[in-house]
A and B are shown apart, each in its own frame.
Chain A
Amino acid sequence: MTVLSVTGLKVRYSAKGPEILKGIDFEVKSDDFLAIIGPSGAGKSTLIRAVNRLVEPTAGEIILLDHNVCDLNAKQLRELRRNVGMIFQEFNLINRMSVMDNVLSGRLGYTGNMRSLFRMFPKEDVDQALYYLDRVGLSDHINKRADELSGGQRQRVGIARALMQRPKLLLLDEPTSALDPKISREVMGLIRDIARELKVPALCNIHDVQLAKEFCNRIIGMQDGYKKFDGATETLKDSDLEEIYAMEVL
């Protein structure tokens, strides 16, 4: 089953600015753990942000969970975004809030304004937060402030927060770039295991080709706003990598 299908996607940040994405087509199936690789500036982050319209596409079509993302109004877009968990390179936690509140904030899309104001999340949300905090191994840090944690722990909070949305798709924007190699492996492993457990497909930006090969079943190679490679991980050859990263050598 296709969860996400993107056709002819183009993005430009301003009318006179350069075109960042120059017509991208790809699909994410329900059992995919898809990596997007490519040199810096290839448009990986922009691509991932265009999927849930954190970045506005200038042309093309994005069908996400049977909705045409570009046609939605603000309210419909919020309702669709609730189904898409996102994990970030810099974690994007709220540093001055506790780990628990950070994880619960993943439920905001389902929570009313009054409850949000007084942080009165329903009991089942709290129970679920406790469960996911346990799952990512942070049961001992529930009441700590987010800025007291190490990098790897913070990303685990980010993972738990994304899972709170009960996502139907995970968007991962360089989830391991701010972490050291050992922690990177652990975090990628955790995300992959959970994605399998919950049967959630994932679309993952990653610049570490080794990690991509190790954890992802499919790979998209990007260069300068174009898609240069799209196929199963086993079919990625060294010559493909050379082509994708050709610009960086220069």
Chain B
Amino acid sequence: MVDQHTPPKWSRYKYPESLYKHGTLLIVLLFLGYSLHFLNVDIPLLLGALGGLVGVVGDRYYPPDVAYVLDRGYLAAILDTLQMSFLGGFAGVCLAIPLAWFSAWNVSPNRRVFFPIGRLGVISCRAIHETIWTILFVSVLGFGMLAGVSALTMFCVGFAGKLFADEIEAIEMGPVEAMRSAGANPFQVFLYAVVPQVRVAFTGIAIYTWDVAFRAATVVGFFGGGGMGWYLKRNVQQLENLRVAAIILSIIAMVLVAEFLSGWLRATVNRAK
């Protein structure tokens, strides 16, 4: 049983607060211990696995089959993944902008109808993980790029929609008031008072969205969307470990390139304020 001791006199926290604080901590720790026990996690095995990992990697995954990833077929797959992330990112951003406008409380065209539509649209895209979107689209559209692009689009709507809406909700309301007082309708208010204020931030978010979409594209590919991920899956299943190692390295390299490129582009855009 839990023994509830009274807090010592020197405590900064008065009686009920200290109880909540320590009580919460205790519950978290108890649940952690219970989970470890319930799942029967073998900690010595886990620690041993770290050493084992180095051995396995050295044994089976080295040297990576670099020639395989420099082959024309695989290079085309890299391009596929790149195109997939571009298409998905572009379509996602285009859909996310109106949804973000609807779901920004301060300038929503209608708080009773459009606001819930926008919020629900963005939230439902976020609620479903990109792998699940891929599985859903693959089952409807079949394996390949179309399913991959569709899944990435949904992912990007959820990702960019939230960031766009936050950005819109942080604008200065003065120009909005001025446009409203001139008799502008909600669409015109969005065009003239909102867009100029969020243009730069939106460009940065769009670039970031592409970067994240590129990373997601490898996973989407694994689940049937095509591109690099699809190669990864095939070789994992065929136990072609040296090729798997090379593919993983190529993915890491490409993601790093995308990350640098997006960082540099965003910095350039922000300077153009």
- Chain A residues with Cβ under 8 A from B192's Cβ? 94, 97, 105, 108, 116
With A88-B174, A117-B191 known as contacts, the answer to whether A109 contacts B196 (CB < 8 A) is no
Residue of B nearest to A91 (CB): B174
Nearest CB in chain A: distance from B167 CB, A: 14
Q: Chain B, 122-157, contact with A by CB distance < 8 Å: what is the 0/1 string?
A: 000000000000000000000000000000000000
Residue of B nearest to A82 (CB): B183
With A96-B197, A108-B192, A116-B192 known as contacts, the answer to whether A88 contacts B178 (CB < 8 A) is yes
Interface residues of B in 25-53 (CB under 8 A from A): none
- Chain A residues with Cβ under 8 A from B184's Cβ? 78, 105, 108-109, 116
Nearest CB in chain A: distance from B190 CB, A: 10
Nearest CB in chain A: distance from B169 CB, A: 18
| One of B175, B182, B191 near A93 (C-beta < 8 A) | B175
B196 contacts A95, C-beta separation under 8 Å: yes
B188 contacts A81, C-beta separation under 8 Å: no
Interface residues of A in 58-83 (CB under 8 A from B): 78-82
A94 contacts B182, C-beta separation under 8 Å: no
A116 contacts B175, C-beta separation under 8 Å: no
Residue of B nearest to A104 (CB): B192
A221 within 8 A of B: no
- Chain B residues with Cβ under 8 A from A171's Cβ? 181
Nearest CB in chain A: distance from B97 CB, A: 13
A165 within 8 A of B: yes
B185 within 8 A of A: yes
B187 within 8 A of A: yes
Interface residues of B in 151-210 (CB under 8 A from A): 174-175, 177-185, 187-188, 191-193, 196-197, 199
B175 contacts A94, C-beta separation under 8 Å: yes
Nearest CB in chain A: distance from B221 CB, A: 37
Interface residues of A in 77-121 (CB under 8 A from B): 78-82, 84-86, 88, 90-97, 105-111, 113, 116-117
With A111-B188, A113-B188 known as contacts, the answer to whether A92 contacts B174 (CB < 8 A) is yes
A92 contacts B182, C-beta separation under 8 Å: no
State the interface size on chain B (CB cutoff 8 A): 19
With A54-B177, A92-B178, A96-B197 known as contacts, the answer to whether A116 contacts B188 (CB < 8 A) is yes
B183 contacts A108, C-beta separation under 8 Å: yes
- Chain B residues with Cβ under 8 A from A111's Cβ? 188
A79 contacts B183, C-beta separation under 8 Å: yes
Task: State A52–B184 Cα separation when bound (angstroms).
Answer: 13
Task: State A90–B174 Cα separation when bound (angstroms).
Answer: 8
With A94-B193, A113-B188 known as contacts, the answer to whether A105 contacts B179 (CB < 8 A) is yes
Nearest CB in chain B: distance from A45 CB, A: 11
- Chain A residues with Cβ under 8 A from B182's Cβ? 81-82, 85-86, 105-109, 161-162, 165
With A86-B181, A165-B182 known as contacts, the answer to whether A108 contacts B175 (CB < 8 A) is no
Q: A82-B182, A105-B192 are in contact. List 18 more A-B contacts (CB 8 A).
A: A54-B177, A81-B180, A81-B182, A81-B183, A86-B178, A92-B178, A93-B175, A94-B175, A94-B192, A94-B197, A97-B192, A105-B179, A108-B179, A108-B185, A116-B187, A116-B192, A165-B182, A165-B183
Q: Chain B interface (Cβ within 8 Å of chain A)?
A: 174-175, 177-185, 187-188, 191-193, 196-197, 199
Task: Provide 22 A-B residue pairs closer than 8 Å at the C-beta atoms, listed in order of the A residue.
Answer: A52-B181, A78-B185, A81-B181, A81-B183, A84-B181, A86-B182, A88-B178, A92-B177, A92-B178, A93-B175, A93-B178, A94-B192, A95-B197, A96-B197, A105-B179, A107-B182, A108-B182, A108-B192, A109-B182, A113-B185, A113-B188, A117-B191
Q: Chain A interface (Cβ within 8 Å of chain B)?
A: 52, 54, 78-82, 84-86, 88, 90-97, 105-111, 113, 116-117, 158, 161-162, 165, 171
